[in-house]
Structure 1
Amino acid sequence: MFDRTAGSYVIELLKEWNVDHLYGMPGDSINEFMEELRKEQAIRFIQIRHEETGALAAAAYAKLTGRIGVCMSIAGPGAVHLQNGLYDAKKDKVPVLAIVGQVESTKVGTDNFQELKLESMFEDSAVYNRRVQAADQLPDMLNQAIRTAYAENGPAVLIVSDDLFSEKIKRDAPLSSSVFAVPKIRPADEDIAAAVKLIDAAKKPVVLAGKGAKGAVEDLLAFVEKVKAPLIASFPSKGTIPDGHPHNIGHLGQLGTKPAEEAMKEADLVILAGTAYPYRQFLPKDAPAIHIDIDPKVIGKYYPATVGIASELKPALSALIGAVQPKDADFLEKYKGKREKWDNQLQEDMEKESEVMQPQHVLAEVQLILDPDAVVSLDVGSVTIWTARYLKLAKQQFVLSAWLATMGCGLPGAIAAKIAYPDKQVIALTGDGGFSMGMQDFVTAVKYNLPMTIVVFNNQKIQLIEHEQQNKGNPATNVEIANIDFAAFAAACGGVGYTARNRADLRNALEMAKQSSKPVVIDAYVEDISPLE
């Protein structure tokens, strides 16, 4: 029989689930749990300056590693701050655990100081959302929360009054364990047979693949090579599917290439492989479709599937490779040629000199110093489109807020990347608007000695919104933002800052940043040209 505090059980179970760090800020309703963490060396507490940073970093860690990201907060305002990061995890389907404090258990429901109805607040953002009523429940509810986060690929919220962490509990035998059995989902033979008929009949098949290709890239490439299909990679799959593969004709849609858009319009068969691509206007009007996804709810959700294959991507593609007939390469070669011309134009754009540095110049310089195993954390805004167009990734890892597309995700992603991979080069690409939304946590990178390079595309404008306003026929309004000396800010935090107003400055700054033992901000002044023109 064991007689220990409930909080100590939480620590032991987190270690059993291979949790080695969490993000949080100490406070009133989690002080007893903080005391348990103080006594534990195997779990690193990363003190962030804003709980949103912690939740976004936890989500980014899960995206990068596949392991659960963990964050924590006090009741009330701290819990509210978590929401953006938890929604990001839910939309991008990654496991996150949020341990959320609550007022003392005897005061819940009395409208006490900082008390909110947390269960109601997290109901939409979480796949598991429960309040622990008694200390004896805590270990088993923690197991259930983490298991649900993994099973449903989303955030689990465990709400705990702080006094419960310090209560002693006796356990003769555990009810549950820290074991999660990963299901192996294989395709049905009849679905493969139906898909093969469509593929063999098609003259112009196009494959649109997403982040579900992770772990199945070799099979994906072998499949497109056999059926001689152009390959379009969804933007979240950048870094997973190599940009330089000869079949890859780029991304699709606002972030995409003209060859990808044209090939999709001409396609007589669309094969959606591990993607829930939502932009119907960029897909064919009436071409048949094969949709392969591990989640049956996604199949046919955004485009009418003719054949659905509920399966992991790797075994489904393997079965198709063995069954389909080889095709001629006329359609493929046409679009490989178009992609080559597109790439040549982009190269000209990057080489063309101008009086004021342009965004593509920044990306050309970043490309030169990018390690083969680097991690790139991308923020949201016009920088997203520039990066989609000009930065080429092969085996580098890439992290962003895809479905929620929340500004301010670049720095938390870089923090998570450096904690996950301390020996890898980490670069964050962010606009001045996105970086300033959460730049206070640059000091977190400094505090924990996390060398990274933050490249700020500084045009003193919310560029993408300006273009959207103008596209609607409206005059641009309230898109200018006051300038900040980001290099001086970095130095004030104890890091390193460089200002780059031309390519020579930038090249020098990037080289020095790569050798730095401290986090670096490069304030790169760029022309405020629209990425959509």
Structure 2
Amino acid sequence: MFGKTAGETLVDLLVEWGVDHVYGMPGDSINSIIEALRKAQDKIKFIQVRHEETGALAAASYAKLTGKLGVCLAIAGPGAIHLLNGLYDAKLDHAPVLAITGQVESDLLGLDYFQEVQLERLFDDVAVYNQRIMSAEQLPAVVNQAIRVAYAKKGVSVLTIPDDIPKFEVKAEARKTSSIFVEPEISPSSTYLNQAKAILDKARSPVILAGKGAKHARESLLAFAEHMAAPIVLTLPGKGVVPDEHPYCLGGLGLIGTKPSYDAMKKADTLIMVGTSFPFTGFLPESAKTIQIDTDPAQIGKRYPIDVGIAGDAKTTLDWLVQHVQKQTDVSFLEELQQEREAWWTKMEKEEQDESLPIKPPHVIQALQKVAQDDAVLSVDVGNVTVWMARHFRMTHQPFIISSWLATLGCGLPGAIAGKIAYPKRQVFAICGDGGFAMTMADFVTAVKYDLPIIVIVLNNQKIAMIKFEQEVMGNLEYGTDLTNPNFAKFAEASGGIGYRVEKPEELMPAFEQAIRQTKPCIIDVVVDANVAPMPAHITWGQMAGYAKHMMKELIEEGKIEWPFQ
């Protein structure tokens, strides 16, 4: 460490922490850091992105997929500002990310210099750790602290480094600290475990709501579900916690969920929330006894009234409950919902097999299902495409990433880039709508540049289709949702990749089968029906009334009927 520049020391510390790549774009206020990365390129790879937002979203996606630190790098001013959207995605989805930004030189701070922005203030809300480096000697300890806090608090650390500091030598008086984070084991309290046992012993229609906090506890969760004869409902971030076709799985919950999940919540007398702080409480039971299990005590009871909270690891807690709670022998409640689930799947299969024109989005997801391997990485963008994937793709062991709490459009492609870097030997798919893909499509060339053979599926309906549906349900006429798109297949070819344009159902499977054999990035541009609405599993009276109002307005606007009050 000593005798090296601060820029070189920064890179050495990243390598010590196990960082093997950084997303970013070079520029004047970080050129000294870029030079240090160049010298260490045999240990750490610099992934040049075309937009810093993509870099931050990719760093967040990498962290979500692997649990490892995602790192992004940007210049002062505009580059740093561009990082914000991806960093907020990491913050809200609790992903450990380090953002390194340049800044004007130390003696120019406060002079309104070119590209000077008060970055500490800018990043104050998004960061769990936010520090400007003041000297070369300070840098090693602060870098270690920033990374340790990002891991400990599962959030974003930001380091702002004035342009002169990476050039200075780190002298012997620099403070020494360790490049290490120790993961704690959170054991549940016996008091609360016994309180939960008392509730579960009396449960007759229990339902489990599992989120991403249960992903490491699949076998324990299934054992508990079997012990309690309790169906499992999944949050969207929790999709894949158990296989979608497992007999105990009812699918998702909420506007993108399934009818059996909705009904299970209405009939439940006991709710067990595992690794989730589900926000859409209108879909949860109105009067059930509720137990919430989470490693973060701050999440327990945060959004929904509970009877017992257990701060502890999901696997440890569920294993204890299986050993101590009376086994549920009455399986009638479970079997009733399993029958509903079969009816729901029959309905979904009918939608998936519809081969009419224009191509229906569920039919595209069925094609993906046929070619995706059990360990394929699925990076799903935001919009109607989220609904189609949540309902129609039946996961087994595939990693599934999405911008969950921020729900930012454009996350699909950066997630796929990160997925291929994390798992180079696996299939990696980005499943996007045309609106979401267009937001970050410039970085398709990044996949080409770094030989990342991802497959981007674009559901192209020339609409911001989810917003169209929302407007109609409100009773409004559609406005501002039309899109003018390029031919995305030709864009892929112009970028150095491979493109497939699919306009007919019979072209769909050949395109998928060819794409998975390619060694270059591919785009499958599928022209789909814009009028297939992502209807909720349970339609409320307000939604029906709003849609009827919209239809009436549309007919009047088109002159097909006259307004009766003139």
| Normalised TM-score (structure 2) | 0.93
**Counterpart Cα distance in 2 of 1:450 and 1:513:** 13
The CA deviation string for residues 92-124 of structure 1, in whole angstroms up to 9 with x for no partner, is: 001000001000111111110000010000000
AA aligned to 1:28 is D
State yes or no: 1:383 paired with 2:385: yes
- What corresponds to 2:557 in structure 1? none
State yes or no: 1:59 paired with 2:60: yes
State yes or no: 1:453 paired with 2:464: no
**Counterpart Cα distance in 1 of 2:9 and 2:454:** 35
- What corresponds to 1:425 in structure 2? 427
- What corresponds to 2:488 in structure 1? 486
What pairs with 1:125-204 in structure 2 (closer than 5 Å)? 125-171=126-172, 174-204=175-205
AA aligned to 1:379 is D
**Counterpart Cα distance in 1 of 2:451 and 2:2:** 39
Unaligned runs of 5+ in 1: none
State yes or no: 1:121 paired with 2:125: no
Pick from 534, 542, 566 the counterpart of residue 531 of structure 1. 534
Q: Note the aligned Cα RMSD (angstroms).
A: 1.0
- What corresponds to 1:505 in structure 2? 507
**Counterpart Cα distance in 2 of 1:240 and 1:25:** 35
AA aligned to 2:410 is G
Tell me the percent identity: 52
**Counterpart Cα distance in 2 of 1:443 and 1:215:** 35
Kept in 1, the 8 Å contact 2:57–2:87? The answer is yes
What pairs with 1:260-339 in structure 2 (closer than 5 Å)? 260-327=261-328, 328-339=330-341
Pick from 412, 415, 421 the counterpart of residue 414 of structure 2. 412
| Normalised TM-score (structure 1) | 0.99
**Counterpart Cα distance in 2 of 1:2 and 1:330:** 69
Instruction: Tell me the secondary structure at the aligned position of residue 29 of structure 2.
Output: helix
- What corresponds to 2:398 in structure 1? 396
What pairs with 1:75-114 in structure 2 (closer than 5 Å)? 75-114=76-115
Instruction: Tell me the secondary structure at the aligned position of residue 516 of structure 2.
Output: helix
What pairs with 1:333-348 in structure 2 (closer than 5 Å)? 333-348=335-350
Pick from 461, 464, 473 the counterpart of residue 462 of structure 1. 464
1:20 positional shift: 0.2
Kept in 2, the 8 Å contact 1:500–1:525? The answer is yes
- Single out whichever of 467-476 and 63-72 deviates more from structure 2: 467-476
- What corresponds to 1:23 in structure 2? 23
AA aligned to 2:422 is A
The CA deviation string for residues 385-406 of structure 1, in whole angstroms up to 9 with x for no partner, is: 1111111110011111000000
Kept in 2, the 8 Å contact 1:33–1:162? The answer is no
1:473 positional shift: 1.3
AA aligned to 1:82 is L
- Single out whichever of 433-442 and 173-182 deviates more from structure 2: 173-182
**Counterpart Cα distance in 2 of 1:397 and 1:412:** 15
Instruction: Tell me the secondary structure at the aligned position of residue 318 of structure 1.
Output: helix
Instruction: Tell me the secondary structure at the aligned position of residue 292 of structure 2.
Output: strand
**Where has structure 1 moved over 2 Å in runs of 4 or more?**
171-175
1:235 positional shift: 1.0
**Counterpart Cα distance in 2 of 1:501 and 1:339:** 32
1:289 positional shift: 0.5
Kept in 2, the 8 Å contact 1:240–1:397? The answer is no
- Single out whichever of 128-137 and 164-173 deviates more from structure 2: 164-173
- What corresponds to 2:250 in structure 1? 249
- What corresponds to 1:36 in structure 2? 36
**Counterpart Cα distance in 2 of 1:2 and 1:324:** 58
**Counterpart Cα distance in 2 of 1:349 and 1:309:** 41
Unaligned runs of 5+ in 2: 537-566
Number of positions where the alignment pairs a residue of Structure 1 with one of Structure 2: 533
1:380 positional shift: 0.3
1:471 positional shift: 1.2
- What corresponds to 1:6 in structure 2? 6
Kept in 1, the 8 Å contact 2:453–2:520? The answer is yes
1:241 positional shift: 2.2
**Counterpart Cα distance in 2 of 1:79 and 1:309:** 40
